[in-house]
Amino acid sequence: MTGLSVGLKIGLVVDGSLGSAGPARGKAVISALVAFLAILAPPAMAAEETVTLGGYRVSFDLGNYTGYSLEFELVPFAAVDGEEYPSSVCWIQGERTMMIAITDYGVPVEATSSLTRRAVTLYLTNAECKNLQTHEIAIDGKPAILGLGERPSGSILVCAVFWPDIQEVDGVLVAQVDCTIASEESVEVTERLLNSIKVRHPGEAEGGGWGAMSESDRMEVRSESDRILL
């Protein structure tokens, strides 16, 4: 999607917002999101969507939010050691726009909180956001970083990053797949997406799971400095 595909590089470009921004508004929005994520019960499954992105099953439930369409795209997003790894993107087009992007780096990288926070901050900075805020939350039971920033238009852009396959190897958190979520939708709709999204490897359908990393995989764990940020 031209126009919106720049969201993977410089942020979503859409009209509409979560409301007028500024530091006070931003604090209110992120407080609402964090509080909602902490207490919200899982939404009803009647509106659940399941899509395949890069070979992974991604499901989410927007509750009574209807009238949206889904569009898919493969976009260059990140690189490791000079090799590009494209992101499989699902655009959720409703009153405003949301995005889910799955990137598989092929080998494990260190999935530290500081690295994830830097990825979120870089996304928002590239979208020309200011008054950035970040917060540690959980998405799909995994550690995540939620951030928001004020766009030049005054709208609020929300970005969250988590690693669906994160696991500890010799005391280090590592992962191979990351999920980036971006939204300029209302707080309520954004909350529902963040609370309901699940990313699964196809093997989990047969009771498998992501599986432990092999010894050869562990030898390829990349350091934080080796990974080119999103």
pLDDT number for residue 20: 37
Question: From CA 190, how far away is CA 18, in angstroms rounded?
Answer: 10
- Angle (CA) 213 82 177, round 5°: 35
Burial group, residue 206, by CB count within 10 angstroms (0-12, 13-18, 19+): exposed
Check residue 180 and give its pLDDT: 96
Task: Report d(CA 135, CA 160) in Å as an integer.
Answer: 9
Residues in contact with 183: Cβ distance below 8 Å, sequence separation at least 6, in sequence order: 12, 96, 97, 98, 99, 157, 158, 189, 190, 193
pLDDT score of 106: 85
Question: Among candidates 178, 164, 172, 170, which has minimal Cα distance to 110?
Answer: 172
| Residue 47: predicted pLDDT | 66
User: Which of 167, 175, 165, 163 shows the shortest CA–CA distance to 210?
Assistant: 165
Rounded to whole angstroms, how far apart are CA atoms 25 and 20?
Answer: 7
pLDDT at 86: 84
pLDDT of residue 9: 40
CB atoms within 10 A of CB 23: 11
> Pick from 20, 230, 9, 5: which is nearest to 127 by CA?
9
pLDDT at residue 84, rounded to an integer: 73
DSSP string, 169-227: ETTEEEEEEEEEEEE-S-HHHHHHHHHH-EEE-GGGGGT--S-PPPHHHHTTPBPGGGB
The 8-class DSSP code of residue 62 comes to -
Amino acid at 111: A
- Residues 172 and 114: their CA atoms lie apart, in Å, by 13
Print the SS3 string covering 11-46: CCCCCCCCCCCCHHHHHHHHHHHHHHHHHCCCCCHH
Could you state, in order of their start, the residue ranges of all structural domains in the chain?
5-114+136-203
Whether the Cβ atoms of residue 18 and residue 187 lie closer than 8 Å to each other = yes
| Phi, psi of 133, rounded to the nearest 5 degrees | -135, 145
On whether the CB atoms of residues 59 and 197 are closer than 8 A, the answer is yes
This prediction has a pTM of 0.73
Mean pLDDT, 10 residues at a time, over the chain (230 residues)?
35 34 48 48 60 94 93 78 81 95 90 94 95 96 96 95 94 94 95 96 57 44 33
